[in-house]
Structure formats: structure tokens, C-alpha cells
Amino acid sequence: MTKKNINQVVIIGGGIAAHTAAIYTGRAKLEPLVLSGIKADQLSLTTEVENFPGFPQGVLGPDLISNAKKQAQKFGASYLNETAKSFAIKDGYFEITTDEKTYPTLTVIIATGATAKKLGVPGEDQYFGRGVSTCATCDAALYKDKIAVVVGGGDSAMEEVIALKKFAKNVTIVHRGSEFSASQIMQDRILALAEKKEIEIIWDTIVTEVVGDGKFVTGVKLKNNKTKEESELKTNGLFLAIGHRPNTEIFQNKIKLDRVGYIEADKNMHTSVAGVFAAGDVQDHIWRQAVTSAGSGCIAALAAEKYLENIKADK
């Protein structure tokens, strides 16, 4: 492998973490190559983002992503709409292979994100970003004095309810079982709210369809698992809190992952493999915010730059 045909950094992903890493590595004259894939990231599917710094009136998710990409391209980042299909560790470099080509690189920044699990019911995809959400922390403020439904029974669902309760006039949890799987302390908080009639809980029930007026969600169809009774519940928003799946398939058995598949990275975004860094939701199963993803993308880029400086100094 000659120096001439090897990239200094390849960034895998198309979300805000990837674009931020591309901005920083671009400004560092590293000529980053971004394999942004063909699937839209979560921000691109989000309507209004109100909690990203610098936008007092909010910003549309697709606009935020588009502008970040243009900014990275301004500093020399190259983008390819290709999806990484394999990752290989070589002697002193790495190879990322897509359906089109194999790209050798001295460093890799993984920003492939995590995919929110969905219900797989009619209307869910149609109204995603228009009433269907996977992040109450991101979208709760949009539901001031509105009605919201949360699906799930774990800690994430409990946290979604708490976030929504600050704004929505009515919050209902729909859970397929007869008891929650959340930690006891979180269950106690939510059950106490239900006892005070501050929220509602519908047990042993699943959502079978998301309904709307063509623009936004207006309700959900429900089915009781035990009685098989069907009903419809009016709501302005459906929040899915049934878990996320990190997009780390090609890194299994090559980079250290935690028990559910997230990349283990230190505070400097270093992974278990020297020269490989991770940013965004692919290594963050707790906060999952646009601003934290951007911040980790910045750190990963600076760490990659430092790594390249060190290996050059060692030669």
C-alpha cells in the first residue's frame, strides 16, 4: 500500500456526528472521505429541532444536516453515498469495503448510529417525524398542552413519560405486558404518577396502527392481548421506547463492543483498536442527543488528527 493511494481518514456515517468529524478533519487538511450510506439518519427524518445551540427559533432536522454537510465539503471533505459492508484491520492501516469499492485508510471514525426499534405497524413510517418519535427529550416541548402516548415498559419508556409530562396535558403509557421491566425506582415513580391520575397506563395492550389526517398523527389503534378488544385512542404523538439497535454488525469480533452491541469508547472516542474512533449514538446508549453526537464527532476528529501526527513522528 503506497502513501499516495491511502486515505488519512475515512468517516462512516451520515449523521451530525459524521458531519462534525468531517468539518474538523477537513479543517485539519486531512481530506476526509465520508461514506454516508444510502439511509437517512434520524435528524434528517425529524421536523423541528429546538434544542440545538445557535437556533433560537429552532431548525429543521434536514436543514441542520444539509448545512453541516456543506460546511464539511467547504473544508475539503468528500462524500460518497455508499454503505460500508465490511471492515478489515491490516498491517498499519484499515480497509472499508462497500458494494462499489475498497477504501484503505490510516484512521477510521465510526459514526454509524443506532437504529430505533419500531413496531412495524401501518402508519408508523408514514408519520415518522410527524407525530411518531423515538426521543421525548428531543421533541417533548413540541407537545405543550397536547396528548402523547408512549409505548414501552423499560427505563427508557419511564424517562420518556417524565420528559413529556412537563409539557403534554395528557400522557398515556401503552404496555404489552401486565408489569413493567424498568428498574424498581423508575417503576415506583411512574406508578405513583398513575395513582395520582397524573398519567394513564393501559396494560396488556399493543398498538396495531398509527392513524392521522395525512399530515400529522391523530390517534392510534389498540388491541388488548387478553380480551382481543380493539379500540382507538386519540393522540397528537406516539413515542416509541422499545429500544435501539446499534449499527455495528461489520465491527463484531474486530472492535470491542458491549453486551448489546454498542462500541466501547473512552472519553477521547478511542476504541479498543488504535486508529479507530467512534462518535455519536453508535457508542452512546444513554444520551443520544444531536448536540452530544456533534461533540463526540469533534472529539473523535481531534483524536484522529493527534493519532496521525504521532504515527508520522514515529517514522
Q: Report residue 45's pLDDT band, with 50, 70 and 90 as the boundaries.
A: low
Least confident of 38-42, 132-136, 214-218, 272-276: 38-42
118-240, CATH topology level? FAD/NAD(P)-binding domain (3.50.50)
pLDDT band at 200 (very low <50, low <70, confident <90, very high): very high
Percent of the chain with pLDDT over 90: 84
* Region for residue 262 given its phi and psi (left: phi exceeds 0; alpha: psi -120 to 50; beta: otherwise): beta
Q: Which CATH architecture has domain 3-115+244-314?
A: 3-Layer(bba) Sandwich (3.50)
Q: Which residue has the higher pLDDT, 42 or 247?
A: 247
The number of beta carbons lying within 10 Å of the beta carbon of residue 128 is 20
Tell me: the pLDDT tens digits for 73-83? 999 999 999 99
185 three-class SS: helix
For range 139-156, the mean pLDDT: 94
Active-site residue set: 135, 138-139
Domain ranges of the chain: 3-115+244-314, 118-240
Q: With 60 as the cut, is the pLDDT of residue 1 above it?
A: no
Q: What is the pTM of this model?
A: 0.81
pLDDT digits (tens, 9 = 90+) for 62-113: 899 999 999 999 999 999 999 999 999 999 999 999 999 999 999 999 999 9
Q: Is 65 exposed, middle or buried (0-12, 13-18, 19+ CB in 10 A)?
A: buried
Fold match flag (3-115+244-314 vs 118-240): yes
Q: What is the pLDDT of residue 2?
A: 54
Asked if 224 and 175 touch (Cβ cutoff 8 Å), the reply is: no
CA 8, CA 306: separation in Å to the nearest integer? 12
The per-residue pLDDT for 67 is 96
Q: Is pLDDT at 3 greater than 70 in this prediction?
A: no
**Poorest-pLDDT segment among 34-38, 230-234, 268-272:** 34-38
191-225 burial code (b ≥16 CB/10 A, e <16): eebeeeeebebbbebbbbbbbbeeeebbbbbbbee
Residue 40's pLDDT band, with cuts at 50, 70 and 90, is: low
pLDDT for the residue 49:
84
C-alpha cell read off for 96: 472499508
